[in-house]
Amino acid sequence: MEFLRLSKAAQRLGVHPVTLRLWADSGKIPVTWVGRERRFSSVDVEAMKVSSVGGDRIRLEGLYVRVSGSTGQESSLQAQEAELRATATGEAVKVFRDRGSGLREDRPGLNRLLQAVTEGSVTVIRVTHEDRLARFGVGWLERLFAVHGVGLEVLHPKRSGGRQELLEDFISLVTTFAGRLYGMRSQEARRRLLMESGQCPSVGGDA
């Protein structure tokens, strides 16, 4: 039995090394650590090849890419998509694109992604970095995907957001909460004025 390096094992399986790393991280194939390097048993690699040929369901990949700005950054969207396509091991059937903060929940691309997941038109969602999908709540999204039999794969486990994007998200968060607080205060003020003018019945008054 031979223990193969990541690149050699990936070559034998006919997949990208990043894909093999994701398989190892998810427990799909056993891995042995030699210092800080992964090693794969040749027996496990051959077994994986057999199971792959044995009729696993077709891998339909949905690629999600996002930039924070509403304009520009086209090269970043293209770079994310190119990297995901280069590491694909199935058919990239859909690409979902968004321009906006990862804090926003009403993103058009994300909504289309969720629809594809519930319809079963994809079997895996792939992103370059976790925070491309969302700043918070990725774990909840992953559980939702799993309910529909859809996996989530992140090429680079570490967060990608640069200083500028983090600042933009922070400003977006503060603006949202400030707007809600201002709205609550305005509503309170209007109600108080109506009560003082006698136009607004007090709570618990006579019917």
Determine the angle formed by the axes of helices 6-13 and 42-53, rounding to 10 degrees.
30
Is pTM beyond 0.85? Reply is no
Strand partners, 94: 62
Q: Give pLDDT tens digits for 134-185.
A: 888 888 999 899 888 888 999 987 765 555 556 655 555 566 556 666 666 6
Write out pLDDT tens, residues 179-198.
666 666 666 766 776 676 66
Torsion of CA 77, 82, 83, 87, to 10 degrees: 140
